């Protein structure tokens, strides 16, 4: 049992390993992809931010450049040394500045004093660098605010105009509303809600020049510190330090920060015309959200896939596991069965050796006694009788064993042939009668609803089955018991070509225990010997019976109870033989059928009706007498009365005697019985019974039994013709090729067959036979008679060669095997290789003639069918 747990453990372990492997691989994939997503976003962010910042910077540059050049334009249009009077010049400057959209214009002194030409008073936010640059004659911008707090963007261009108080200014300063710049830089986030990006403009010390979004502190650095406060202050300081270093170095700075619970991409770049820096911030919030959604979808899909793969794996494993378990169980069962079979076989062998030895001993012993008493014929005769009995018994045993070994090696074959069920039933009734009589048992045969008497079946094997069932019934039924066999038919499900035949063999004997019923059809089994010690046999009979029925495609069922009896029910679907229906008509008689079996009465009446006879029936002798008497008084006597022998109350003999006494000798009274007529003939004749019809009562049985009572001669009743005259075949002049290697056999065959008027040609072996057929004109030979064992080429090979020829008659010429091998297997082999029929040696002229007629007629029909079709 240790072995069985090993595959289970292996399976479980490997399943776990595969599951773990799956989870690891898929987990790694999910993790890797997620990480990779972030990196990709960062990269995308960096590229995007750089482009964005460059664009904004460029835009800023262009805008400032443009405004500066406007201002420069004004300065150049009105140079300080122009001849215009001071007042006029100032007016012109104001006019031009207004026309170019400036909201403020002032002269800027070298000391940093503003002298406004128009617009509100302005206070520069960070005047020193502005003044320094202008004094160096560079153009510059700055932020300024009015007294009311409105912020402005101031632009300065070097110019030397006269200021009030005899001073000369160092620059002309114009201003634009700060909103203008904000708009240009898209810094006003309120107007661009959809834009992800927002910007600040800061100075080098971190103070805001322009701020947007939610920034409210004065310094960007403070803002960063505040945002990181309590979260990661070190990182904030690091970031500020890095930013300052980059600003000092005049480099671009890019970084990703975690702020307000989301990642933000930060990009810092210096702006021209100022010492300002543009800080562009891209919060990854929305992007992250989308990408995270994507990646969680992705992970979901991966996990889903993983789950499906795992489920599939589990299923496969479970299935495989179940199959393995099933196989193990099957193996165990098979092993047990094999052991059981082998045990049964060895038991059987030991039984058999005993069973065979018993009659063998009798034979040996009786032979010795007979030898010792040669002078005493009485004694010798007695011994011989016993020897004959024992040898018959021994033969039975050996036949069973041989059959069984044939079955076990699969060599048992059926030879299907035309079979009359009536003949089968008649013959088995004859065989069983002595056994029944010996045990003084009641025996009855019932046949009803017969739709087809002639069928195709292996008669020998069917007989074997029926005799086996019946002799078992006789054997296992005590003296005085009753045995009943019934045959009836119904249409078969396979169609009109078949007929379903039911055979029921029933007894009221010792019956069988349910356990034994289960194994009765197994080989080598016999019921426990305490009850059936006296019974002889191999115990193979039922197994052989079952096997034969199986081969015939039928079924056998068993009903039995200990002490109550046994009933076997055999169902066979037999092929109907296409024999011409005999025209069986008798005069329109009135008949009476008396039998205690109601079904038999009805069925017999129906059969009689088909023959043209009207029949009444009744179930006992007393009522039969009343009916006959009534008809007699009405002067309308029954023509014939059928009387069962065994009737309840008054039996058939008594009834007949009474009928004769009352109604005279005119009406023929026939006894119907399954018993041997010989036993009761004398008694019956004395009682006035005119004749006997043996059960079972087939239609043909009735016809032939009753025909003799029809009129005075055969002229009033037509003799049935099995073969209509026009179909009879005249064999004289027919050409037959006979393959036979032995001269003597050939001469005998020629002598015998020549009597039929056949013209015979001889072929010495299969090869010559094939050649002769090949070189004959088509249709010259009507048939080939083929020996099987021949030198050079056997009959089987020759038949195959002839059938393979392409001549039109190669397929249809009748080939009949003639051989000394008469086993069913040999016959089957002949039929398998393409022969039409088989006839055993020694040659029986009538048999050969019949076969030839049949084959030639069949060929003629096939030919006609071929021509008409």
Partner 1 sequence: MTLKECYEKMEANYEEVIGRLRSERLVQKFALKFLDDPSYRLLITSMEEKNYEEAFRAAHTIKGVCQNLGFTRLGRSSSALTEALRGGWSQEADSLLEQTKADYQSTVTPLQALRDSQQ
Residues found near partner 1 in the complex (CB under 8 A): 741-745, 747-748, 751-752, 787, 789-791, 819-820, 841-845
**Strand pairing category for 198-203 and 276-283:** antiparallel
Q: Tokens standing for 524?
A: 């080598």
CB of 848 to partner 1, least distance (A): 11
Q: Which is nearer to partner 1, 612 or 842 (CB)?
A: 842
Q: Which is nearer to partner 1, 255 or 819 (CB)?
A: 819
Instruction: Name the phi and psi angles at 714, rounded to 5.
Output: -75, -15
CB of 764 to partner 1, least distance (A): 12
Give the Cβ contact number of residue 445 at 10 Å: 23
**How many degrees, rounded to 5, is the angle at CA 600 between CA 596 and CA 604?**
120
CB of 842 to partner 1, least distance (A): 4
CB of 707 to partner 1, least distance (A): 30
Cβ-Cβ contacts under 8 Å for 828 (sequence gap 6 or more): 413, 415
- Are the C-beta atoms of residues 656 and 670 closer than 8 Å to each other? no
Q: Which is nearer to partner 1, 576 or 841 (CB)?
A: 841
CB of 423 to partner 1, least distance (A): 23
- Annotate 622-675 with DSSP letters as a single string: HHHHHHHHHHHHTT---SEEEEESS-SSS-HHHHHHHHHHHH-S-S-EEEEESS
Tell me 782's DSSP state.
S
Q: Which is nearer to partner 1, 800 or 821 (CB)?
A: 821
CB of 719 to partner 1, least distance (A): 27
- Are the C-beta atoms of residues 432 and 471 closer than 8 Å to each other? yes
Q: Which is nearer to partner 1, 656 or 839 (CB)?
A: 839
**Strand pairing category for 442-448 and 482-491:** parallel
CA distances from 632 to 177, 687, 711 (A): 149, 19, 21
CB of 790 to partner 1, least distance (A): 8
- Are the C-beta atoms of residues 293 and 315 closer than 8 Å to each other? no
CA distances from 678 to 91, 606, 681 (A): 167, 29, 5
**Strand pairing category for 104-109 and 669-673:** unpaired
Q: Which is nearer to partner 1, 466 or 816 (CB)?
A: 816
Alpha-helix residue ranges (DSSP H) falling in 142-269: 178-184, 220-228, 233-249
Q: Which is nearer to partner 1, 482 or 745 (CB)?
A: 745
Tell me 447's DSSP state.
E
CB of 827 to partner 1, least distance (A): 16
CB of 787 to partner 1, least distance (A): 8
Q: Which is nearer to partner 1, 567 or 741 (CB)?
A: 741
For tokens 């070509």, name the residue: 497
CB of 751 to partner 1, least distance (A): 6
- Are the C-beta atoms of residues 456 and 577 closer than 8 Å to each other? yes
CB of 843 to partner 1, least distance (A): 6
Q: Which is nearer to partner 1, 582 or 748 (CB)?
A: 748
CA distance 542 to 476: 14
CB of 819 to partner 1, least distance (A): 7
CB of 596 to partner 1, least distance (A): 46
- Are the C-beta atoms of residues 171 and 137 closer than 8 Å to each other? no
Q: Which is nearer to partner 1, 463 or 819 (CB)?
A: 819
Q: Which is nearer to partner 1, 149 or 410 (CB)?
A: 410
Cβ-Cβ contacts under 8 Å for 23 (sequence gap 6 or more): 306
Q: Which is nearer to partner 1, 337 or 747 (CB)?
A: 747
- Are the C-beta atoms of residues 587 and 716 closer than 8 Å to each other? yes
Provide Rg for the chain, Cα atoms.
62
Q: Which is nearer to partner 1, 729 or 843 (CB)?
A: 843
CB of 731 to partner 1, least distance (A): 17
Tell me 37's DSSP state.
H
Q: Which is nearer to partner 1, 279 or 412 (CB)?
A: 412
- Are the C-beta atoms of residues 52 and 267 closer than 8 Å to each other? yes
Tell me 126's DSSP state.
S
Q: Is 568 exposed, middle or buried (0-12, 13-18, 19+ CB in 10 A)?
A: buried
**How many degrees, rounded to 5, is the angle at CA 859 between CA 855 and CA 865?**
145
Q: Tokens standing for 586?
A: 């008798």
SS3 content of the chain, % helix, strand, coil (to 5): 50, 20, 30
CB of 402 to partner 1, least distance (A): 13
CB of 830 to partner 1, least distance (A): 15
CB of 742 to partner 1, least distance (A): 5
Q: Which is nearer to partner 1, 648 or 791 (CB)?
A: 791
CA distance 311 to 544: 52
Q: Which is nearer to partner 1, 409 or 588 (CB)?
A: 409
- Are the C-beta atoms of residues 172 and 75 closer than 8 Å to each other? yes
Q: Which is nearer to partner 1, 551 or 748 (CB)?
A: 748
The three-state secondary structure class of 681 is: helix
- Are the C-beta atoms of residues 290 and 68 closer than 8 Å to each other? no
The three-state secondary structure class of 309 is: helix
Q: Which is nearer to partner 1, 754 or 804 (CB)?
A: 754
CB of 770 to partner 1, least distance (A): 18
Give the Cβ contact number of residue 677 at 10 Å: 14
Residue 152: alpha-carbon gap to chain centroid:
89
CA distance 290 to 292: 5
């Amino acid at each position: 049992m240790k072995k069985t747990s090993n595959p289970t453990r292996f399976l479980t372990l490997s399943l776990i390993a595969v599951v773990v492997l799956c989870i690891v691989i898929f987990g790694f994939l999910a993790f890797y992809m997620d990480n990779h997503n972030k990196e990709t976003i960062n990269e995308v962010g960096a590229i995007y931010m750089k482009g964005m910042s460059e664009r904004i910077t460029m835009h800023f540059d262009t805008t400032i450049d443009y405004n500066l050049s406007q201002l420069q334009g004004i300065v150049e249009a009105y140079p300080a040394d122009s001849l215009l009077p001071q007042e006029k010049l100032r007016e012109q400057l104001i006019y031009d500045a207004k026309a170019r959209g400036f909201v403020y214009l002032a002269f800027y002194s070298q000391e940093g004093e503003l002298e406004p030409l128009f617009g509100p008073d302005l206070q520069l936010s960070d005047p020193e660098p502005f003044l320094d640059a202008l004094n160096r004659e560079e153009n510059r911008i700055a932020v300024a605010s009015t007294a009311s707090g409105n912020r402005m963007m101031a632009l300065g261009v070097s110019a030397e105009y006269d200021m009030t108080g005899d001073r000369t200014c160092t620059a002309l300063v114009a201003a634009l509303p700060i909103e203008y710049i904000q708009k240009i830089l898209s810094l006003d986030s309120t107007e661009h809600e959809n834009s992800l990006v927002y910007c600040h403009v800061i100075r080098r010390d971190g103070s805001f020049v322009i701020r947007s979004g939610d920034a409210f502190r004065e310094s960007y650095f403070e803002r960063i510190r505040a945002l990181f406060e309590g979260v990661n202050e070190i990182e904030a300081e690091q970031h500020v330090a890095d930013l300052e270093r980059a600003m000092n170095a005049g480099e671009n700075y890019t970084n990703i920060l975690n702020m307000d619970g989301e990642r933000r991409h930060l990009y810092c770049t210096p702006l021209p015309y100022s010492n300002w820096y543009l800080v562009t911030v891209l919060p990854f919030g929305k992007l992250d959200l989308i990408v995270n959604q994507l990646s969680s979808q992705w992970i979901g899909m991966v996990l889903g896939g993983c789950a499906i793969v795992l489920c599939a794996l589990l299923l496969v494993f479970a299935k495989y596991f179940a199959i393995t378990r099933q196989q193990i169980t099957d193996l165990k069962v098979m092993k047990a069965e094999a052991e059981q079979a082998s045990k049964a076989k060895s038991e059987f062998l030991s039984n058999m050796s005993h069973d065979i030895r018993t009659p063998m001993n009798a034979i040996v012993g009786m032979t010795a006694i007979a030898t010792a008493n040669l002078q005493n014929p009485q004694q010798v005769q007695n011994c011989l009788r016993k020897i004959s009995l024992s040898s018959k018994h021994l033969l039975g045993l050996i036949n069973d064993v041989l059959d069984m070994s044939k079955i076990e090696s699969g060599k048992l074959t059926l030879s299907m042939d035309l079979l009359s069920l009536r003949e089968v039933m008649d013959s088995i009734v004859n065989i069983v009668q002595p056994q029944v009589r010996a045990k003084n048992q009641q025996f009855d045969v019932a046949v009803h609803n017969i739709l087809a008497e002639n069928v195709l079946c292996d008669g020998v094997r069917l007989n074997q089955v029926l005799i086996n069932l019946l002799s078992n019934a006789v054997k296992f039924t005590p003296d005085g018991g009753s045995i009943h066999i019934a045959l009836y038919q119904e249409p078969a499900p396979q169609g009109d070509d078949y007929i379903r035949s039911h055979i029921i063999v029933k007894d009221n004997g010792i019956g069988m225990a349910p356990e034994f019923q289960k194994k009765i059809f197994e080989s080598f089994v016999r019921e426990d010997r305490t009850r059936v010690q006296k019974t002889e046999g191999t115990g193979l009979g039922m197994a052989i019976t079952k096997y034969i029925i199986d081969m015939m495609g039928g079924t056998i069922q068993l009903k039995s109870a200990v002490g109550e009896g046994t009933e076997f029910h055999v169902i066979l679907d037999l092929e109907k033989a296409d024999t011409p229906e005999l025209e069986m008509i008798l005069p329109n008689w009135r008949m009476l059928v008396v039998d205690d079996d109601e079904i038999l009465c009805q069925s017999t009446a129906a059969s009689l009706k088909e023959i043209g006879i009207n029949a009444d029936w009744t179930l006992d002798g007393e009522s039969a007498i009343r009916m006959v008497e009534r008809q007699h008084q009405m002067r309308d006597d029954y023509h014939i009365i059928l009387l069962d022998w065994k009737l309840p109350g008054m039996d058939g003999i008594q009834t007949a005697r009474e009928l004769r006494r009352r109604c005279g000798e005119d009406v023929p009274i026939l006894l119907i019985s399954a018993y041997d007529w010989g036993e009761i003939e004398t008694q019956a004749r004395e009682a006035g019974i005119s004749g006997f019809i043996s059960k079972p009562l087939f239609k043909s049985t009735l016809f032939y039994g009753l025909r003799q009572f029809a009129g005075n001669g055969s002229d009033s009743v037509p003799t049935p013709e099995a073969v209509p005259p026009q179909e009879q075949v005249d064999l004289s002049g027919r050409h037959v090729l006979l393959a036979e290697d032995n001269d003597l056999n050939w001469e005998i065959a020629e002598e015998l067959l020549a009597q039929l008027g056949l013209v015979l040609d001889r072929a010495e072996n299969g090869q010559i036979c094939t050649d002769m057929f090949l070189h004959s004109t088509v249709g010259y030979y009507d048939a080939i008679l083929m020996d099987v064992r021949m030198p050079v080429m056997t009959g089987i090979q020759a038949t195959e060669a002839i059938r393979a020829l392409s001549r039109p008659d190669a397929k249809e010429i009748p080939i009949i095997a003639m051989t000394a091998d008469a086993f069913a297997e040999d016959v089957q082999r002949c039929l398998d290789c393409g022969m039409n029929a088989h006839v055993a040696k020694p040659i029986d002229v009538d048999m050969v003639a019949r076969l030839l007629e049949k084959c030639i007629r069949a060929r003629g029909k096939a030919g006609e069918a071929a021509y008409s079709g």
